[in-house]
Amino acid sequence: MQKADDFFSFKNTVTEISKEDFLQTSYYLNSIKAFARLNNNCVFVSDYMKKGFEYVSEHPLFLCGNTAKEVKEMGYNFYLKHVTKEDIQLLFKIQKIAFDFYETIPRKERIDYSISYDFHLINKEGKKILVNRKLTPLFLTNSGKIWKAIAIVSLSNSNHSGNIKIYKKGNQRYLQYNEEGDFWESPEVIKLTEREREIIHLSMRGFKVEEIANEISLSPNTIKFHRKRLFEKLEVSSISDAISFVKNNNLT
């Protein structure tokens, strides 16, 4: 039977924190809480020594009807309760391959990497929703183990679970996990044209087609043409999906 502790890899076991490590964290939660208030998604902070959540922001959709306090008390049992059976196994696999990957990275560089993946939650009505979770280390121990990490949960723009990707800060290229072949690969990076980037940025600000056309002195039909090409490139069907894809894949 799966247990919440199974989410934590023995390769990243944190049993004690030095005074130097502890001093890293002074008052940091105030910044996390401020960030969460300005964010439409759900924010989690994990503590790998305590094997639970140090902070959870309120969000009715991504907490599946629970309060943030209830989810914090549940810890990783929240996933056992609210993730589909198929995707629970996926999450266990992700934690293994992620920590295997981190072991191959020089200690000083580990904090520069983040991981993104999709899985299904079961909401309070019993319906499945596909979410994306991005996780990045906040604090490492002197030995290079991940002590605390922050995760942002949002709606996924994909149509299936998985899509496991690792990004490095300052590098547009990323690694994608090939689930069938059980290896990491580096896909070709999607490149947006300046016009596509301009349209995306204005769309993020809430501009409609006619407003974008006025803003950059083009006809609405030309904007629609560029949006159609953009949707084909990203393999999405709407501007909201395009915006999510661009954000999730660091294309902005």
CATH topology of domain 4-185: Beta-Lactamase (3.30.450)
Task: Let me know: does 178 contact 184? Beta carbons within 8 Å.
Answer: yes
Task: Let me know: does 202 contact 212? Beta carbons within 8 Å.
Answer: yes
Residues 6+ positions from 1 with CB-CB distance below 8 Å:
none
- Tell me: pLDDT of 171 over 80: no
Question: Which helix (H) or strand (E) covers residue 224, if one does?
Answer: helix 220-234
Residues 6+ positions from 212 with CB-CB distance below 8 Å:
199, 202, 203, 218, 223
Q: Which has the closest alpha carbon to 157: 130, 192, 177? A: 130
Distance, in Å, from the CA atom of 226 to the CA atom of 44, rounded to the nearest integer, reads: 37
Q: Which tokens belong to 216?
A: 């950059």
- Which pLDDT belongs to residue 194? 92
- Which pLDDT belongs to residue 149? 95
> CATH number for the 194-248 domain, one of 3.40.50.300, 1.10.15.40, 1.10.10.10, 3.40.50.720?
1.10.10.10
Residue range 7-44, pLDDT digits in tens:
777 677 777 777 777 777 777 888 999 989 888 889 99
What values do phi and psi take at 247, rounded to 5?
A: -65, -45
This prediction has a pTM of: 0.79
What are the residue ranges of CATH 3.30.450.20 in the chain? 4-185
Beta bridge partners of 47: 52, 148
What are the residue ranges of CATH 1.10.10.10 in the chain? 194-248
Residue range 100-132, pLDDT digits in tens:
999 899 988 999 999 999 999 998 888 999 999
- Which pLDDT belongs to residue 213? 94
Residue range 191-228, pLDDT digits in tens:
889 999 999 999 999 999 999 999 999 999 999 999 99
- Which pLDDT belongs to residue 236? 82
